[in-house]
Structure 1
Amino acid sequence: MNLIQALLIGLFAYLGAKRTPWFFGVTGGWNMIGRPLVAGLICGIILGDVKNGVIAGAMVQALFIGQITPGGAMPADVNWAAYIGIPLALAAGGSGEEAVALAVPLSMLGLGMFNFIMTINAYFPHWGDKAAAANNSRGVQMATYCAAIPSFILRFGSAALICYLGTPVTEALLNNLPAIVLHFFEVAGKMLPAIGFAMLLKQSLTQNWMIVLFLMGWVLIGSTTMSVTALAIFAIGIAFIFVMAKGKPQVVTNVQSAAVEEDDCYEE
């Protein structure tokens, strides 16, 4: 990986990080560019390996598909997993299994980076409050824009530096690992995404009987030649039929009797 490629990956890592306001805010940044599936495509284009980039992105996305980030709380930092784990694996000649294996520890290290950035940024709201108390609108604007500087330096700098300097280390590591360790990465790369889907199912299945719907889909995709897209359309149809059959809950209200009682109270 050359320096230009590392800088481009670092730039997209910053744009897709949590609390980055520039690319349509959280919607375009964290919820789009920051997703491993999109990051895999971007890293694949930059590194000239789109196919393996998308495959690696899909596998890493499956690992974190059930993760939610309420407020500022994050169980793991997907940004480092996506924009460091995926390009390092691709540049070192690895595949999706190696990307998943790198994504897990990197997501934990990235969480420490996120908390450090939030600690630094805690200063800027106080700066803005003091400026607002002094009727200094310029100071409020400066506090808002300056709050993005620590995130840019740390996000952009860390991703670019690790990708540029870490590629030879990762490549040497993968080339010299024993076959049994590489096989472990392959097995772990297929098992860890199952954890992500399990987390998603735990959030989605509000009632125990809904597991039957999941089992029906699993049987169809495993025992037939149906594609995932066809299964998704079929599932949408089943969901539509279920919602229409269930109907809307009817709220019984007796408006007329309530009005009569109210009028009776004021007859005198």
Structure 2
Amino acid sequence: MRAEIAVIGGSGFYEISNVQMRKFDIKTPYGIVIGVRIGEIGGKKIAFLARHGESHSIPPHRVNYRANIWALHSIGVERILATSACGAINRRFKPGDFILVTQFLDFTKSRPSTFFEGGKSGVAHIDVSEPFCPQLRKVVKSVAENLGFKIREGGVYACMEGPRFETPAEIRALEKLGADMVGMTLVPECVLARELGICYSSVAIITNYAAGISRNILTHSEVLEMMKKKNEEIKKIFLSAIQKLPGERNCSCPKSVEIFGHSSKNSS
């Protein structure tokens, strides 16, 4: 049971079709991860994990992010491609757009956000100046454009606690802080991946306009409807990216924490 690349599917993205995969449950120090699928694409072993569960039974604030990332790390995953359904704050973004996220704002409240809790696990202060792997982003952008899909590189993702949608006042505040889009899942997922030296890149799918920008009442069915429309496109992008990824990682992601489980030399 090994894989080198993983896909984490968000809302509306629950499987990779046309790829034969076996399902496994993986035990971790943080709990059991149910239904990790493992298969092969172009000679590369891949894993697929539905972030919210196969039937979307786990809300964003209850996702066991540490167990998910640890499970993928334990089977050898070095790269993660993820999706995230988002509401547009930036007026230049519109429903259906693909955005390669480059920065985040973290407004989560109650989620365990690190593997380094002190004691035996040690203490580490990782650098997230570039939280999303530049090598992965470059490959994803290239293959998307070659497939004829428009994709924007560059966007600030505001991660909220959820599961409720935001108020118009919150969206106005986020806009002033520089947020381009809003969602509920990328943090701490991308941070935990970085702590384990895993390359991580997310394609945000704009599913709707955020509260106060949209003229409609926000619903999750609206999100799922747009994801259904874009599902095949994002799958084509990811499957093509997986096959185009070079064997060697030339980014700094693996060096984020030099020795896992040891205190950072610079911690104080």
TM-score range, shorter chain: under 0.3
Q: Which structure exhibits the higher relative contact order, with contacts defined as CA atoms closer than 8 Å and separated by 6 or more residues?
A: 2
Bigger CA radius of gyration: 1
TM score, norm. by length of structure 1: 0.24
TM-score for the superposition, normalised by structure 2: 0.24
Structure with bigger strand share is 2
**More helix per residue:** 1
